[in-house]
Amino acid sequence: MLFSSRCLLAPTLLSLFLAESTVADQAKSRAQTALSTLQDWYNSTSGLWDTCGWWNGANCMTTIADLAALDPSAMETATYVFNNTLIRAPASNPHPGPETKANNKRMALWGRSNAVNASQWLDSAYDDDGWWALAWIAAYDVTKKPAYLQLAEGIFSALTSAWGTQCGGGIPWNPTDKYVNAITNELFLSTAAHLANRVPSRKANYTTWAKREWDWFAAQGFIGDNGTINDGLLDNCKNNGDTVWSYNQGVVLGGLVELNKAAPNHTYLESAHHIAKAAIKTLADSNGVIHDSCESDNCAPDATQFKGIFMRNLVKLHKASPDDVYKRIIESSAKSIWENDRNSKNQLSVNWAGPFHQPVDASSHSSALDALVAAAAL
Ligand SMILES: *[C@@H]1O[C@H](CO)[C@@H](O)[C@H](O)[C@H]1NC(C)=O
Ligand SMILES: *[C@@H]1O[C@H](CO)[C@@H](O)[C@H](O)[C@H]1NC(C)=O
Ligand SMILES: *[C@@H]1O[C@H](CO)[C@@H](O)[C@H](O)[C@H]1NC(C)=O
Ligand SMILES: *[C@@H]1O[C@H](CO)[C@@H](O)[C@H](O)[C@H]1NC(C)=O
Ligand SMILES: *[C@@H]1O[C@H](CO)[C@@H](O)[C@H](O)[C@H]1NC(C)=O
Ligand SMILES: *[C@@H]1O[C@H](CO)[C@@H](O)[C@H](O)[C@H]1NC(C)=O
């Protein structure tokens, strides 16, 4: 009896192991297919993706970089995009910003072979600037090209000149609007913390900025009673109770994971878990698929990309501090996207539970690709 039960155990473990690797491998092969679809929208002249906007381009690029980090077969597309976008995209900057007035020596940075000029990536919306900083950091992570990191440093340097709001610290949404929102400050946190782990000579400086942002953010009331993060603050600096967007529950997770790496403190990951769990309670359906509240109206033009940003950062938290709940959410969302939210051209639309419906564009598609990449990384 003992013998036969042992015999039974071995194949069970083997099939469990196979099941695990198959799920990630299947997600990887689906992500490869979805990457090729995404590139149908890539415009080599503009260096951006037709059908979506300037800041969405930064997120398309980040998704591609994240896939290349775990799948060498995506590397050729990724390096082509980084190189071409670096040269071409600045001409499409919709609104080169007044923050270029804050231009200074630190912002005219030069790479080893490529000249990089961070001012060209600023567009008068500090959140947009932050997306590009993170995109160039993701490109640096897979290529180790110093120019990409220097570009991110230059963008961050411009953002620091916006520090200080009517609520004390933090940065406002843009140079002409005093609205203080969560995303802009989460991007500031995440960029500072990423740079702290990548630029040894300025580690202390970037760590100080990341801590300063997080301490202010956590004390300021962006985080609601149940642990989710609302859109922003009222003029009196209290939580405005506005929409719990998925991306606001995401960027902060990546920021805290990086900050914890730069300056370990158990409270950072505890806070990240608290936010992630609250977000899942609020945003996941009974099948474990993530939603934003705008889906019945298509979420256009911007919010079509939000959920992928949540998944990208949730998997970072899962890697740093695993939790089966995160794994289930990532797997369920990725599986549902492929089975329920895809058309015959392998385009992916905004409601991950399905059914597929128009409009589909590079924004909704890249967001779903983020979920596939997250599942491939598990
Ligand atoms: C590609 O980008 C260029 C430059 O911005 C633009 O003129 C052209 O219309 C774009 N192509 C398509 C198909 O949208
Ligand atoms: C980068 O892009 C430019 C312009 O499109 C091209 O001339 C150059 O050969 C590319 N370099 C690499 C390394 O791909
Ligand atoms: C950098 O770009 C900005 C904005 O396009 C421009 O005003 C400035 O002259 C550029 N600086 C350099 C050194 O090329
Ligand atoms: C970071 O470095 C910049 C430029 O050297 C300096 O102006 C700033 O005061 C430093 N900030 C912190 C928080 O150390
Ligand atoms: C860890 O972070 C918390 C919250 O920011 C802070 O109160 C505490 O002093 C930090 N602990 C250490 C050892 O730095
Ligand atoms: C948490 O609070 C937000 C409002 O700030 C609300 O939209 C959300 O439904 C709440 N989540 C849960 C699980 O109650």
| 183-210: pLDDT as tens digits | 999 999 999 999 999 999 999 999 999 9
Closest-lying ligand 4 atom to the alpha carbon of residue 208:
13
CA of 161 to the centre of ligand 5 (A): 26
Alpha-carbon distance of 372 to 11, in angstroms, equals 29
CA of 266 to the centre of ligand 5 (A): 8
Ligand 1 lined by 43 (C-beta under 6 Å) = yes
**So what's the pLDDT on residue 150?**
95
CA of 135 to the centre of ligand 3 (A): 20
Q: Give pLDDT tens digits for 291-337.
A: 999 999 999 989 999 999 999 999 999 999 999 999 999 999 999 99
CA of 250 to the centre of ligand 5 (A): 22
Using CA positions, which residue lies closest to atom 8 of ligand 4?
Answer: 205
Share of the chain above pLDDT 90, in %: 86
Query: What is the torsion angle, in degrees rounded to the nearest 10, for the CA atoms of residue 173, residue 179, residue 185 and residue 187?
Result: -30
Could you please state the CATH topology (level 3) that the domain comprising 26-377 is classified under.
Answer: Glycosyltransferase (1.50.10)
Closest-lying ligand 1 atom to the alpha carbon of residue 91:
5
CA of 84 to the centre of ligand 2 (A): 6
Closest-lying ligand 1 atom to the alpha carbon of residue 92:
5
CA angle 135, 162, 93 (to 5 degrees): 45
Using CA positions, which residue lies closest to atom 1 of ligand 6?
Answer: 226
The SS3 of residue 182 is helix
Confidence of residue 99 (pLDDT cuts 50, 70, 90): low
Q: Which ligand is nearest to the CA of 278?
A: 6
Q: Is 242 exposed, middle or buried (0-12, 13-18, 19+ CB in 10 A)?
A: middle
